Amino acid sequence: VLKKWKTKGFSVGVNRELIASGATMLGMSLEQVITLTIEGMRAIASQLELA
């Protein structure tokens, strides 16, 4: 995800500033927030209909 983060065509509807701001407010790096988000989504993938 981080490799594609700055690509304009990647996740067009995502407000990157909001996510980066949230990471800062949490005292976490963007990488940490993305990693935890992906791990959390994997844990409930069937509920999110991703699996």
pTM of the model: 0.76
Q: What are the tokens at 25? A: 């407010």
- Nearest-Å Rg of the Cα atoms of the chain is 12
* Successive 10-residue mean pLDDT values, the chain, 51 residues: 85 90 97 95 93 71
Distance (Å, whole) CA 24 – CA 26: 5
Q: Could you tell me the residue ranges of all domains in the chain?
A: 1-51
pLDDT of residue 33: 96
- pLDDT of amino acid 8: 82
